[in-house]
Protein backbone atom coordinates (compact mmCIF):
# COMPACT_ATOMS: atom_id res chain seq x y z
CA UNK A 1 0.00 0.00 0.00
CA UNK A 2 1.40 3.37 -1.07
CA UNK A 3 -0.99 5.59 0.91
CA UNK A 4 0.76 8.07 3.22
CA UNK A 5 -0.81 11.50 2.66
CA UNK A 6 -4.54 11.54 3.39
CA UNK A 7 -7.01 14.39 2.90
CA UNK A 8 -10.38 14.36 4.65
CA UNK A 9 -12.91 16.67 2.98
CA UNK A 10 -15.40 17.78 5.61
CA UNK A 11 -14.85 18.20 9.35
CA UNK A 12 -18.31 17.31 10.57
CA UNK A 13 -19.20 14.47 12.94
CA UNK A 14 -17.64 11.66 10.93
CA UNK A 15 -15.10 13.70 8.98
CA UNK A 16 -13.44 14.81 12.20
CA UNK A 17 -13.40 11.26 13.55
CA UNK A 18 -11.89 9.88 10.34
CA UNK A 19 -9.20 12.56 10.35
CA UNK A 20 -8.36 12.05 14.02
CA UNK A 21 -8.17 8.26 13.78
CA UNK A 22 -6.08 8.39 10.61
CA UNK A 23 -3.61 10.86 12.14
CA UNK A 24 -3.52 8.83 15.37
CA UNK A 25 -2.43 5.82 13.32
CA UNK A 26 0.51 7.71 11.87
CA UNK A 27 -0.69 9.01 8.51
CA UNK A 28 -0.12 12.59 7.36
CA UNK A 29 -3.58 14.18 7.46
CA UNK A 30 -4.99 17.36 5.97
CA UNK A 31 -8.55 18.45 6.68
CA UNK A 32 -10.29 20.47 3.97
CA UNK A 33 -13.41 22.48 4.74
CA UNK A 34 -15.20 25.45 3.23
CA UNK A 35 -14.08 28.32 5.47
CA UNK A 36 -12.64 29.57 8.74
CA UNK A 37 -15.83 28.97 10.73
CA UNK A 38 -16.11 25.34 9.60
CA UNK A 39 -12.43 24.73 10.29
CA UNK A 40 -12.69 26.25 13.76
CA UNK A 41 -15.63 23.97 14.52
CA UNK A 42 -13.62 21.01 13.22
CA UNK A 43 -10.70 21.83 15.49
CA UNK A 44 -13.06 21.96 18.45
CA UNK A 45 -14.34 18.48 17.57
CA UNK A 46 -10.74 17.22 17.55
CA UNK A 47 -10.28 18.38 21.13
CA UNK A 48 -13.46 16.55 22.15
CA UNK A 49 -12.24 13.41 20.38
CA UNK A 50 -8.94 13.67 22.23
CA UNK A 51 -10.83 13.60 25.52
CA UNK A 52 -12.93 10.64 24.38
CA UNK A 53 -9.89 8.61 23.37
CA UNK A 54 -8.04 9.36 26.60
CA UNK A 55 -11.15 8.48 28.61
CA UNK A 56 -11.46 5.10 26.90
CA UNK A 57 -7.78 4.30 27.34
CA UNK A 58 -7.90 5.13 31.05
CA UNK A 59 -11.13 3.18 31.50
CA UNK A 60 -9.53 0.14 29.88
CA UNK A 61 -6.48 0.54 32.08
CA UNK A 62 -8.64 0.36 35.21
CA UNK A 63 -11.46 -1.96 34.18
CA UNK A 64 -9.96 -4.00 31.36
CA UNK A 65 -12.38 -2.64 28.76
CA UNK A 66 -14.36 0.59 28.20
CA UNK A 67 -16.71 -1.19 25.83
CA UNK A 68 -20.09 -2.88 26.46
CA UNK A 69 -20.13 -6.36 27.96
CA UNK A 70 -19.35 -8.99 25.37
CA UNK A 71 -17.70 -6.58 22.94
CA UNK A 72 -14.24 -6.72 24.46
CA UNK A 73 -11.27 -4.49 23.69
CA UNK A 74 -10.88 -3.74 20.00
CA UNK A 75 -7.72 -2.81 18.16
CA UNK A 76 -8.79 0.67 17.10
CA UNK A 77 -7.09 2.56 19.91
CA UNK A 78 -5.91 -0.34 22.06
CA UNK A 79 -2.82 -2.36 21.15
CA UNK A 80 -3.78 -5.91 22.16
CA UNK A 81 -7.28 -7.28 22.38
CA UNK A 82 -8.03 -8.74 25.78
CA UNK A 83 -5.01 -7.12 27.47
CA UNK A 84 -5.21 -4.32 30.03
CA UNK A 85 -1.95 -2.84 28.69
CA UNK A 86 -1.29 -0.82 31.87
CA UNK A 87 2.35 -0.32 30.91
CA UNK A 88 1.40 1.15 27.52
CA UNK A 89 -1.44 3.40 28.67
CA UNK A 90 0.69 6.48 29.40
CA UNK A 91 2.44 6.17 26.04
CA UNK A 92 -0.91 5.88 24.23
CA UNK A 93 -2.31 8.91 26.04
CA UNK A 94 0.72 10.95 24.97
CA UNK A 95 0.13 9.84 21.39
CA UNK A 96 -3.53 10.82 21.54
CA UNK A 97 -2.78 14.22 23.06
CA UNK A 98 -0.30 14.98 20.28
CA UNK A 99 -2.68 13.97 17.49
CA UNK A 100 -4.71 17.21 17.03
CA UNK A 101 -1.51 19.20 16.53
CA UNK A 102 -0.41 16.89 13.73
CA UNK A 103 -3.45 17.63 11.54
CA UNK A 104 -3.21 20.36 8.91
CA UNK A 105 -6.25 22.45 7.92
CA UNK A 106 -7.05 24.42 4.78
CA UNK A 107 -10.02 25.89 2.93
CA UNK A 108 -8.16 25.75 -0.39
CA UNK A 109 -8.98 22.50 -2.20
CA UNK A 110 -6.01 22.62 -4.57
CA UNK A 111 -3.67 23.17 -1.63
CA UNK A 112 -5.31 20.34 0.32
CA UNK A 113 -4.82 17.70 -2.38
CA UNK A 114 -1.47 18.91 -3.71
CA UNK A 115 0.33 15.68 -2.75
CA UNK A 116 -2.60 13.51 -1.65
CA UNK A 117 -2.47 9.75 -2.03
CA UNK A 118 -6.05 9.40 -0.78
CA UNK A 119 -8.98 11.76 -0.39
CA UNK A 120 -11.85 10.75 1.88
CA UNK A 121 -15.01 12.73 1.16
CA UNK A 122 -17.27 13.32 4.18
CA UNK A 123 -19.36 16.27 2.99
CA UNK A 124 -23.18 16.68 3.27
CA UNK A 125 -25.37 13.80 2.06
CA UNK A 126 -26.62 15.65 -1.03
CA UNK A 127 -26.29 14.33 -4.57
CA UNK A 128 -25.87 17.80 -6.07
CA UNK A 129 -23.33 18.96 -3.48
CA UNK A 130 -21.26 15.82 -3.99
CA UNK A 131 -21.42 16.05 -7.80
CA UNK A 132 -20.21 19.65 -7.68
CA UNK A 133 -17.45 18.72 -5.25
CA UNK A 134 -16.11 15.85 -7.37
CA UNK A 135 -16.28 17.95 -10.53
CA UNK A 136 -14.08 20.59 -8.88
CA UNK A 137 -11.84 18.02 -7.19
CA UNK A 138 -11.13 16.27 -10.50
CA UNK A 139 -9.61 19.49 -11.84
CA UNK A 140 -7.05 19.95 -9.06
CA UNK A 141 -6.15 16.51 -7.67
CA UNK A 142 -2.98 14.72 -8.82
CA UNK A 143 -3.45 11.69 -11.03
CA UNK A 144 -2.24 9.39 -8.24
CA UNK A 145 -4.98 10.40 -5.77
CA UNK A 146 -7.59 7.79 -4.91
CA UNK A 147 -11.04 9.18 -4.09
CA UNK A 148 -13.37 7.49 -1.60
CA UNK A 149 -16.74 8.63 -0.30
CA UNK A 150 -18.10 8.13 3.19
CA UNK A 151 -21.65 8.59 1.90
CA UNK A 152 -24.20 6.85 4.12
CA UNK A 153 -26.82 5.95 1.53
CA UNK A 154 -25.69 6.86 -2.00
CA UNK A 155 -24.04 4.62 -4.60
CA UNK A 156 -20.52 5.24 -5.94
CA UNK A 157 -21.79 4.81 -9.52
CA UNK A 158 -23.86 7.97 -9.01
CA UNK A 159 -20.66 10.04 -8.81
CA UNK A 160 -18.04 8.00 -10.70
CA UNK A 161 -18.34 9.99 -13.95
CA UNK A 162 -17.77 13.27 -12.09
CA UNK A 163 -14.51 12.15 -10.51
CA UNK A 164 -12.48 12.01 -13.72
CA UNK A 165 -11.02 8.71 -12.47
CA UNK A 166 -13.82 6.14 -12.02
CA UNK A 167 -11.31 3.31 -11.66
CA UNK A 168 -9.82 5.04 -8.62
CA UNK A 169 -13.14 5.83 -6.97
CA UNK A 170 -15.17 3.80 -4.46
CA UNK A 171 -16.91 4.12 -1.10
CA UNK A 172 -15.51 3.66 2.39
CA UNK A 173 -18.25 3.99 4.96
CA UNK A 174 -17.52 4.35 8.69
CA UNK A 175 -19.90 3.85 11.60
CA UNK A 176 -20.20 6.69 14.10
CA UNK A 177 -17.75 6.64 17.04
CA UNK A 178 -15.23 4.90 14.82
CA UNK A 179 -12.67 4.36 17.59
CA UNK A 180 -15.23 2.05 19.23
CA UNK A 181 -17.47 0.90 16.36
CA UNK A 182 -14.41 0.23 14.24
CA UNK A 183 -16.05 -0.94 11.03
CA UNK A 184 -15.34 0.28 7.51
CA UNK A 185 -17.58 -0.91 4.69
CA UNK A 186 -15.70 -1.04 1.39
CA UNK A 187 -17.90 -0.85 -1.72
CA UNK A 188 -16.82 -0.31 -5.29
CA UNK A 189 -18.80 0.07 -8.50
CA UNK A 190 -18.67 -1.68 -11.86
CA UNK A 191 -15.43 -0.05 -13.02
CA UNK A 192 -13.52 0.29 -9.75
CA UNK A 193 -10.02 -1.11 -10.25
CA UNK A 194 -9.58 -4.23 -8.11
CA UNK A 195 -6.07 -3.22 -7.05
CA UNK A 196 -7.43 0.14 -5.83
CA UNK A 197 -10.19 -1.65 -3.95
CA UNK A 198 -7.59 -3.81 -2.19
CA UNK A 199 -5.49 -0.77 -1.29
CA UNK A 200 -8.50 0.71 0.48
CA UNK A 201 -9.11 -2.57 2.31
CA UNK A 202 -5.48 -2.43 3.49
CA UNK A 203 -5.80 1.24 4.45
CA UNK A 204 -8.92 0.55 6.52
CA UNK A 205 -7.05 -2.17 8.39
CA UNK A 206 -4.03 0.12 8.86
CA UNK A 207 -6.12 2.74 10.69
CA UNK A 208 -7.61 0.16 13.04
CA UNK A 209 -10.85 -0.60 11.24
CA UNK A 210 -12.33 -3.99 10.40
CA UNK A 211 -12.78 -3.88 6.60
CA UNK A 212 -16.20 -5.21 5.60
CA UNK A 213 -16.03 -6.00 1.90
CA UNK A 214 -19.25 -5.66 -0.09
CA UNK A 215 -19.42 -7.73 -3.28
CA UNK A 216 -21.82 -5.42 -5.14
CA UNK A 217 -23.34 -1.96 -4.92
CA UNK A 218 -26.03 -1.72 -2.29
CA UNK A 219 -27.80 1.48 -1.28
CA UNK A 220 -27.04 2.12 2.40
CA UNK A 221 -24.45 -0.69 2.46
CA UNK A 222 -24.98 -3.31 5.19
CA UNK A 223 -25.16 -1.14 8.29
CA UNK A 224 -27.58 1.48 7.03
CA UNK A 225 -29.72 -1.07 5.20
CA UNK A 226 -30.49 -2.25 8.72
CA UNK A 227 -30.35 1.08 10.58
CA UNK A 228 -32.13 3.59 8.32
CA UNK A 229 -35.48 1.73 8.28
CA UNK A 230 -35.41 1.75 12.09
CA UNK A 231 -34.69 5.49 12.22
CA UNK A 232 -37.39 6.27 9.66
CA UNK A 233 -39.92 4.07 11.46
CA UNK A 234 -39.29 6.04 14.65
CA UNK A 235 -39.64 9.36 12.82
CA UNK A 236 -42.90 8.28 11.20
CA UNK A 237 -44.34 7.33 14.57
CA UNK A 238 -43.51 10.83 15.77
CA UNK A 239 -44.86 12.47 12.60
CA UNK A 240 -48.18 10.65 12.87
CA UNK A 241 -48.61 11.52 16.55
CA UNK A 242 -48.39 7.96 17.83
CA UNK A 243 -46.00 8.88 20.65
CA UNK A 244 -43.31 11.42 21.51
CA UNK A 245 -39.62 10.86 20.85
CA UNK A 246 -38.80 9.94 24.44
CA UNK A 247 -41.51 7.26 24.60
CA UNK A 248 -40.50 5.77 21.25
CA UNK A 249 -36.87 5.59 22.37
CA UNK A 250 -37.82 4.11 25.73
CA UNK A 251 -39.91 1.44 24.05
CA UNK A 252 -37.03 0.39 21.83
CA UNK A 253 -34.49 0.33 24.64
CA UNK A 254 -36.66 -1.62 27.09
CA UNK A 255 -37.89 -4.14 24.54
CA UNK A 256 -34.56 -4.87 22.86
CA UNK A 257 -31.91 -4.00 25.42
CA UNK A 258 -30.36 -1.56 22.93
CA UNK A 259 -28.39 1.29 24.53
CA UNK A 260 -30.06 3.97 22.38
CA UNK A 261 -33.38 4.58 20.69
CA UNK A 262 -33.84 5.97 17.16
CA UNK A 263 -34.02 9.62 18.22
CA UNK A 264 -30.95 9.35 20.42
CA UNK A 265 -29.13 7.87 17.43
CA UNK A 266 -30.42 10.63 15.14
CA UNK A 267 -29.14 13.29 17.52
CA UNK A 268 -25.66 11.76 17.31
CA UNK A 269 -25.74 11.27 13.54
CA UNK A 270 -27.17 14.76 13.07
CA UNK A 271 -30.68 15.80 12.05
CA UNK A 272 -29.25 17.54 8.97
CA UNK A 273 -28.09 14.17 7.67
CA UNK A 274 -31.54 12.65 8.25
CA UNK A 275 -33.10 15.60 6.41
CA UNK A 276 -30.73 15.26 3.44
CA UNK A 277 -31.50 11.54 3.21
CA UNK A 278 -35.22 12.36 3.00
CA UNK A 279 -34.55 14.87 0.23
CA UNK A 280 -32.89 12.13 -1.82
CA UNK A 281 -36.20 10.26 -2.14
CA UNK A 282 -38.10 11.08 -5.37
CA UNK A 283 -41.47 11.34 -3.61
CA UNK A 284 -40.16 13.98 -1.20
CA UNK A 285 -40.01 16.59 -3.94
CA UNK A 286 -42.68 15.13 -6.23
CA UNK A 287 -45.52 14.97 -3.70
CA UNK A 288 -45.71 17.41 -0.79
CA UNK A 289 -48.31 15.18 0.87
CA UNK A 290 -46.12 12.07 0.84
CA UNK A 291 -44.93 10.76 4.19
CA UNK A 292 -41.31 11.52 3.30
CA UNK A 293 -42.16 15.10 2.31
CA UNK A 294 -44.15 15.71 5.49
CA UNK A 295 -41.36 14.26 7.58
CA UNK A 296 -38.76 16.45 5.83
CA UNK A 297 -40.96 19.49 6.54
CA UNK A 298 -41.20 18.50 10.21
CA UNK A 299 -37.43 18.15 10.59
CA UNK A 300 -36.79 21.45 8.84
CA UNK A 301 -39.39 23.60 10.55
CA UNK A 302 -39.31 22.16 14.06
CA UNK A 303 -35.62 21.41 14.36
CA UNK A 304 -33.19 22.66 11.68
CA UNK A 305 -34.72 26.14 11.28
CA UNK A 306 -34.44 26.52 15.04
CA UNK A 307 -30.78 25.47 15.12
CA UNK A 308 -31.56 22.10 16.64
CA UNK A 309 -29.26 19.78 14.72
CA UNK A 310 -28.50 17.24 17.45
CA UNK A 311 -25.66 16.69 19.88
CA UNK A 312 -23.29 18.92 17.89
CA UNK A 313 -25.48 22.01 18.45
CA UNK A 314 -26.46 21.15 22.03
CA UNK A 315 -30.06 20.36 21.16
CA UNK A 316 -31.99 18.13 18.81
CA UNK A 317 -34.75 15.79 19.90
CA UNK A 318 -33.09 16.10 23.31
CA UNK A 319 -31.19 18.89 25.07
CA UNK A 320 -27.50 18.45 25.91
CA UNK A 321 -25.56 20.47 28.48
pLDDT of 64 reads: 55
Please report, in tens digits, the pLDDT of each residue of the chain (321 residues total).
799 999 999 999 999 999 999 999 999 999 999 999 999 999 999 999 999 999 988 877 666 555 444 344 455 555 544 444 455 778 889 999 999 999 999 999 999 999 999 999 999 999 999 999 999 999 999 999 999 999 988 999 999 999 999 999 999 999 999 998 899 999 999 999 999 999 999 999 999 999 999 999 998 899 989 999 999 999 999 999 999 999 999 999 999 999 999 999 999 989 998 998 899 899 998 999 999 999 999 999 999 999 999 998 999 999 998
Tell me the whole-structure pTM to 2 decimals.
Answer: 0.82
DSSP helix/strand/coil, 320: coil
Cα–Cα distance for residue pair 294/280, rounded to 1 Å: 14
Cα–Cα distance for residue pair 104/111, rounded to 1 Å: 11
Cβ neighbors of 9 (< 8 A, separation 6 or more) are 15, 32, 33, 109, 112, 119, 120, 121, 122, 123, 133, 137
pLDDT of 75 reads: 53
Domains along the chain with CATH numbers:
5-213 (3.40.50.720), 223-313 (1.10.1040.10)
Closest Cα to residue 81, out of 90, 72, 89?
72
pLDDT of 264 reads: 97
DSSP state, residue 7: E
In this structure, how many other beta carbons lie within 10 angstroms of the beta carbon of residue 281?
17
pLDDT of 90 reads: 82
Query: Are 275 and 297 a contacting pair, CB within 8 Å?
Result: no
pLDDT of 70 reads: 39
Alpha helices per DSSP H over the chain: 13-24, 36-63, 86-98, 109-112, 127-140, 160-163, 194-206, 223-239, 245-256, 262-269, 271-279, 282-286, 291-302
Amino acid sequence: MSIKNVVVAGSGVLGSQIAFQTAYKGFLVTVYDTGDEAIAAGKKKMETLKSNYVGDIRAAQVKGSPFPAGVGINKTILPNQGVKFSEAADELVELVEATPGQIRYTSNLADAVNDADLLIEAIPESVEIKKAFYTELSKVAPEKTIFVSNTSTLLPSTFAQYTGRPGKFLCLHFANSIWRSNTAEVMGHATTDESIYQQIVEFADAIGMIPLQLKKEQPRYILNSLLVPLLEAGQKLLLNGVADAETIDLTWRLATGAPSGPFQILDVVGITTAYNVLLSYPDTTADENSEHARLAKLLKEEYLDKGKTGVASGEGFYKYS
